[in-house]
Amino acid sequence: MLKRREFITLLGGAAVAWPLVAHAQQPEKQPTIGFLGAATRSAQSQWVGAFVQRLRELGWIEGRNLAIEFRFAEGRSERAAEFAAEFARLKVDVILTHGTAPTLQAKQATAVIPVVFAAVGDPVGAGLVASLARPGGNVTGLSIQQSDLASKRLELLREAVPALRRVAILANVTAPNAVQDMGEVQAAARTLGLAVATLEIRRADDIAPAFKALKGADALYVCSDPLVTTNQIQINALALGARLPTMHGVREFVQSGGLMSYGSNIPDLFRRAADFVDKILRGAKPADLPVEQPTKFDLVINLRTAKALDLDVPPTLLARAEVIE
């Protein structure tokens, strides 16, 4: 039998050891990503999937060693600002954004938390970074700034619609990137000898009236932004009802019924954004990570939509495109 003094000593040692064991078994705090989606989750499902899948490949598995807080602003700028402020209060480890306005709102919400943008039109011009090579500050990511894309899209649209004489441009004039795109389309149209009609919108309620006011256009060029992305199904339906072939900047619009798109592969940009996040979670600073450019571009054509429009797309164009049948 243990003597009383030995028992007390043993008990005291155990009392000291128990808290140490309990402390050692407590899991380390998981890093948290604040995912600030500018449109809806359904509209961005492929982008989200590409980002999460790449994180898994890099060893970051949601629910195991990583937490992701998803917020989707549904094309509303005020909601994006609220979510950015919420992420700052939560003190997430990284904020993932896309689009100029939401990224600016994230930068305004915090000067400390790293911000990675998956796709922004002109990060230098928007004041997000000091330069592409040396971003400085707490923001970096991937730029989709391509000054010749508008001209290329119009050329492809004219190839698909040989009778094209007048093109309508749908743009959310509260979105900096959409306004820039609209200006480039207008300049390209002048060079190609095309007349232009503009459909300026500021909110979802403006979309249907803009189509009703449109007269005499042969095709529609849609400037991408979160508001337009959120309402892409409505826009495609209205364009089809008006017998207007459409040109878009992202493939998702064609998958939801638009005629054609040409531009950066956005899911690929979200995959590459995960590499930025990985480096930051492992200790890199945004200021030291140069802004990168797209490497994959897609030409996508929806043959179902072409048939509904009684449009014969030239075989030479189809041969260069990814075709949805």
53 and 70 inside one domain: yes
38 and 162 inside one domain: no
Does the residue 12 lie in any domain? no
Compute the average pLDDT of residues 253-281.
96
pLDDT, one tens digit per residue, over 86-103 is: 999 999 999 999 988 899
246 and 103 inside one domain: no
Q: What whole-number distance in Å separates Cα of residue 60 and Cα of residue 136?
A: 26
pLDDT for the residue 188: 94
pLDDT at position 14 over 50: no
Does the residue 309 lie in any domain? yes
pLDDT for the residue 100: 87
Compute the average pLDDT of residues 294-305.
94
Compute the average pLDDT of residues 291-304.
94
Question: Any idea which residue has 């140490």 for tokens?
Answer: 20
Compute the average pLDDT of residues 282-308.
95
75 and 223 inside one domain: no
Compute the average pLDDT of residues 256-276.
96
Q: What whole-number distance in Å separates Cα of residue 173 and Cα of residue 206?
A: 11
Q: What whole-number distance in Å separates Cα of residue 286 and Cα of residue 30?
A: 20
Compute the average pLDDT of residues 208-223.
95
Q: Around Cβ 2, how many Cβ atoms within 10 Å? A: 10
- With cut-offs at 50, 70 and 90, classify the pLDDT of residue 6: low
pLDDT for the residue 27: 53
First-to-last alpha carbon distance for the chain, in angstroms, is 85
Does the residue 17 lie in any domain? no
Q: What whole-number distance in Å separates Cα of residue 317 and Cα of residue 156?
A: 8
pLDDT at position 12 over 60: no
64 and 89 inside one domain: yes
pLDDT at position 221 over 80: yes
pTM of the model: 0.81
Supply the CATH number for residue 59's domain: 3.40.50.2300
117 and 254 inside one domain: no
90 and 134 inside one domain: yes
Domain count, the chain: 2
Relative to beta strand 322-324, strand 115-120 is unpaired
pLDDT for the residue 125: 86
75 and 170 inside one domain: no
pLDDT, one tens digit per residue, over 149-204 is: 899 999 999 999 999 999 999 999 998 888 989 999 999 999 999 999 999 999 99
Compute the average pLDDT of residues 53-77.
95
Least confident of 3-12, 255-264, 293-302: 3-12
Does the residue 36 lie in any domain? yes
Does the residue 22 lie in any domain? no
pLDDT at position 55 over 90: yes
Mean pLDDT value across the chain: 90
Domain hosting residue 43, numbered range: 32-145+266-295
CB-CB contact of 281 with 30 (8 Å)? no
- With cut-offs at 50, 70 and 90, classify the pLDDT of residue 325: confident
Does the residue 14 lie in any domain? no
Query: Of 39 and 245, which is predicted with more confidence?
Result: 245
pLDDT, one tens digit per residue, over 107-149 is: 999 999 999 999 988 899 889 999 999 999 999 999 987 657 8
Range among 26-30, 122-126, 275-279 with highest mean pLDDT value = 275-279
pLDDT for the residue 147: 58
199 and 307 inside one domain: yes
174 and 193 inside one domain: yes
Question: Any idea which residue has 């189809």 for tokens?
Answer: 318
pLDDT at position 8 over 60: no
Structural tokens at position 218? 């042969």
Alpha helix segments (H runs only) across the chain: 4-25, 45-57, 77-90, 100-109, 149-160, 176-192, 207-213, 226-230, 232-241, 251-255, 266-281, 303-308, 315-318
Compute the average pLDDT of residues 61-70.
96
